[in-house]
Structure 1
Amino acid sequence: MPVGELFLAAFLQVLFDRLASPELLAFARREGLKKKLDKWRKLLSMIQKVLDDAEEKELHAQSTAVKEWLEDLKDLAYDVEDILDEFATEALRCKLKVKNQASTSKVRNLIPAYFSGLSPYAIMLRTRLESNIKDMTPRFKDLVARKGELNLKELVDRSSEKIRGTVQAPTSVVNEARVYGREGDKKALLDLLKSQAQESVDTQVSVIPILGMGGIGKTTLAQLIYNDQEVESLFDLKAWACVSEDFDAVRVTKTILRSISPGSRDDNDLNLLQIGLKEALKGKKFLVVLDDLWNDRYHDWTILFTPFEAGAPGSVVIITTRNREVANTTSTTEAYQLDLLSNDASMSIFTHHALRAKDFSSHPHLKDFGEEIVRKCKRLPLAAKVLGGLLRSKLQDRDAWEEILNSEIWNILEQRREIVPALMLSYYHLPSHLKRCFAYCSILPKDYEFEEKEVVLLWMAEGLIQPQQKEKEMEDLGSKYFRDLLARSFFQQSNDKKSRFMTHDLINDLAKSVAGNTCFRMEDRVEGSKQGSIFTKARHLSYLGDQYDGFKKFEAFSELTCLRTFLPLMLPYPGWCFLTSYVSLELSPTLRCLRVLSLNGYHITKISN
């Protein structure tokens, strides 16, 4: 399921903002280019309005021409940003060169003086920028013309509906015999619930969040608690409601009211519904589960929560969420952080769904492949369940198991349309600025542990952090971006070092899917998991370093003329690794768009001027 268009929409919004910047407009007016840039904005606006329809058509594989159109659009967007970067670089150069203007003077006041000069450099720069702007315009017009040929229409954005429509909302019903590895979590949460259910607690109604990434089993744990016999005896009333990403207080209130008062009338008036719910809960000790809560707006939460306050002391609301901000907004106690399963529990889930058995005793010929497939699931229960179900009808087909083992797990799950939509929802709900930051993380290898500052500095170098307030330091804002992604379960804290982080393999695959061919990891080409060649229009590149990285490794890099990131990672012997002089003396000077060039860890004696 393509999610790159969500990234593309966020990217176009960045271009709109930069095209409206005072610095660029000042230069455009001075040089008589404002009308051309206005034309760009109009054409971009026409293109932006049909992105949703383009995604719809690509999603249903109606035409490869649509995919090509989207790729050309993304390529154009990057080229436009490169031009804007060149302009910003020259404006900064101007700021540094003009005397007596070095402290707080605004760049836009310097541009006219600099670009109106008649020096050969100023004339060459003006000519080059004007030429670049003129060269881009036909590409804009071509995309608009092809938009009409592809019959792309302007639609109200409904991407969330399309994604949600592929995910069946769970109910409160569970078969505990088919749940593995959550005994400790169930006991811990039951103890917490019982402590909160005591009438002596300070708050009238306690709220306990269950927090974790998509597919980790939050709903399953809530189901176990909801159906526990001991819990039955603690409460007068119980109700279960799936909230989902589109927060609808009327729907949720109606669902809860129907659960505890089956004879209540069908009404869509929130006021009447809340009056009815308040009366039904008044003086009663209740347990309510609000499954899959996304909305972190405090005002919305207080509206939904108000009728609950009529309940008796010791009442409890359990919510499940992927977002720590939601937990912080709603909770009266510390959120219960749900971790990945053990390898043994993952194996039990897989064998149950694949073999209808607890282990491989009856199918020893499949054990070796099965164990490796489970390892690729990286302890995520939903992944083990989906892959097990996929192989359920192939118990005599060892080749089919080997094929699954050698395939990209992401591609398999994407075809099954089960766990991928669940992960896509997390990405869909990211703010635009976080979408680009997350997509950039696709250059980080699987199982790679990173520090917060390392990633923040990369984002800064790539221009992905855009301060909205002058008093906000860029690095502090980058740290906030990082913590936001961590709170939304895109990053996980390392088990070994608390200062280091990593991404689950499927989250890493999500980032790769979002970034498309603009981010490239060299090991993907080596392992043959992608097209098998370096993408000539890749913008960001990383590779795993060796002790001796010779010319052969980089000979194809000369094709990557638009490269922005050159990032070696995980060098085996930092300081004692050697890099061909071709990179530092010949290749790097030709990469005019570079923002990140790291040679850290290599023993280098010469660099280009």
Structure 2
Amino acid sequence: MPELVFGIAERILEKLGSFAYEEFCLVSNVKNELRELELTMAIIKAVLLDAEVKQATNYALSIWLRLLRDIFYDVEDVLDEVECEVLRKQVVTTYGSTSRKVCDFFSCSRALAFRHKLSHKIKDISEKLGKIVAHKHNFNLTERHDHVMHWRRRDLTYSFVPPLDVIGRNDDKEQIISLLTQPDSNRHDNVIPIVALGGLGKTTIAKLVYDDKRVAGHFELRMWVCVSEDFDIPRLIKEILKSATGAIDETLGVDLWPKKLRDSLEKKKFLLVLDDVCNEDHRKWNELKGLLIGGSEESKILVTTRSNKVASIVSTDPAYTLGGLSYDDCLFLFVKWAFKEGEDKQYSRLVEIGKEIVKECKGVPLAIRTLGSLLFSKVDEREWKFVRYNEIWELEQKEGDILPALKLSYDQMPSQLKQCFALCSLFPKDYLFESGKLIAFWMAHGLLNKMPNQELEDVGNMYIKELLSKSFFQDVENYSWCYRFKMHDLVHDLALKVAEEECSTIESCTQKIAGTKKNTEKQNRNNHWRLAGPLPEYCRPNDSNPNSSNIGNYHISKLPNSICKLYNLQTLLLQSCVRLEQLPKDIRKMINLRYLTVATLNTCLFENGICLNSLRFLLINKSRRLKILFQGMDVCLTNLQTLVVSMCPTLTSLTHDIKHLSALETLTIARCSLLSLLEEKDNRDIKLSLKKLEIFHLPKLEVLPQWLHGCANTLQYLCISHCDNFMALPEWLPSMKSLQTLEISYCSKLSSLPEGMDRLTALRELTIEGCPQLDRSKIAHILKVLQLEDHPNMTFKSWENDGI
């Protein structure tokens, strides 16, 4: 990945200019060395973008970039050492040391030895860097500027596929539905393969068919499993079971899973969709199919695949072949993604160029959406011509190559976005990303550039929205505290391609770590490897292991206190450690901790004196003895923005704990059976600035707490779901001037909405579902006022069988 060297240089220069290094330089006598290094880095950075563009056709230049990359990583390693020392000083100064008398940090023998060692390292690196930089003149490089990040205004889409958003596939949909639901004497197999090249929309068509009411009514049971490259039978059994029953008992041994599957399918007419099958092993397919015997003879299996060979293995009947979109449909789709509604009428010349671009996409919807997204909001004709006449269209395309449209869109990304995208290659295909954890992953690798008045989490969110707007992420689900989304297989292939020289996924069965194709054996031995990988919970467990039912960290009851010496640690995920007795006592020393998920057997999460002012996100999950979150008044979480409390059955009060969380913006509470949220007398003065509040499965909740009224000017999103005893929304609800979204679902005792809801001038979406006592006659007047001119964008959603 030598094309990402520019981003590494940016990270280094940002670190060199930080206050921590300024402070360190003043007392460690390495100021001159670091300043000289910073100057050299700044000079070389100016021409790196030009080098990254030209290295594709200049092998010597690509080698030069690789050498620079390796030495840049050496620089980063040294700067990481400096950062750790600065943080160590900060901790020692604040909390002292219990093991020995602490000498002056920068004068003790340890510090003197460190400074001496550091000085030699910097001089050595500077000499090596100088020798490499000296060859710069051989390549006739010029200064270029990085692409400017333009944050998109396009709204996010959701996981379901709205039928009106799918162009040119209605005939295909109807034919596949007919194959699934109508008797056909010409077919001898209950497996129906859908075959198409990548990017043509196999999964999209399968989703449309799967969600169609006729299909849902025809089959007693529907199941969906993403297969991808890992055709591991135990894993597939587990995924099919989860789709069929909603959950699986993790303590159940894998040898019992086949029987559990047969019991779930017995005599039922089911539809099973196996999405993106690559397996060409007859034996594995026959083994899986044998496990599905027992359902009704009218059951069907729908398989999507890129391979005709796979189709011939899974079925003896002809496959359904999905072709490319027609030119007219392609143009319609392109205009929809490249322009705001009606805007194409203002830019007829751009539309003419777009017609030529559409022809290059050869009927592939993914390519059209990607290029449409790339050109969205751009009205400079030169930018459109750059895409139309780009030399990438002239390259010979072989089967399995990256789609030119994807590579072209990637090439136009700013360097920091390229790095974040490339690191996504470490996650498996079809992985369900969660925005908070992905942002934490990027942050841990130093890929998020600081912006004025922006937290790194906010920057990460902007990066995700930008990748969504470019169609590099898809199938997004929007929750109050995170997004969840996937990456198309072809986009994942692109991430693997651009990251192939930088990072690699190593599994338990990996016996050899390969170097780059052009490296000699000697070069491989000297390769500068930097190991990076998904956090442990991202890794797919080896389900073929008979003991794999005890997945994760289920048996851990205590963490060593020494973990608190990881002063640079930003993310700590402990929610699967359900037997953890308590957090280590020195957790306050983890002064960089920003993202924490935890389960505990303790009755209290944080004891007296805990100060984690860097913490932004806290999830407390499956803590079956937890009664209070914080013990004492001196618990400091002054920057905590998101709090998620879930499955804490003994938690009875929350208001006392959140009273001092002045920065809290998002609060999610779920499955806490004793929690009512009724405030105590001394908590009526709570003043929070919540923007989002979600409440799920709280059987004790009858009314909203009075303290929520204090968020009248800030609350934008309110969701109450599956609260069986929730009776009424408060009369003061119409005073929530910032409320944009109100969702109420499956609250069986809710019988009315408060008067004056027409005063909710910011309200744009009202969803009511599964509230049988809230019939239309009781709220007709409210629905009427919500459709007045003050609410031109108002959306009211009701759902089937909800009494509306």
Q: TM-score range by the shorter chain?
A: 0.3 to 0.5
Q: Which has the larger radius of gyration?
A: 2
- By relative contact order (CA 8 Å, sep 6+), the higher-ranking structure is 1
Under a length normalisation based on structure 1, what TM-score does the superposition of the two structures give?
0.47
TM-score of the pair, normalised by structure 2: 0.37
Higher helix residue share: 1
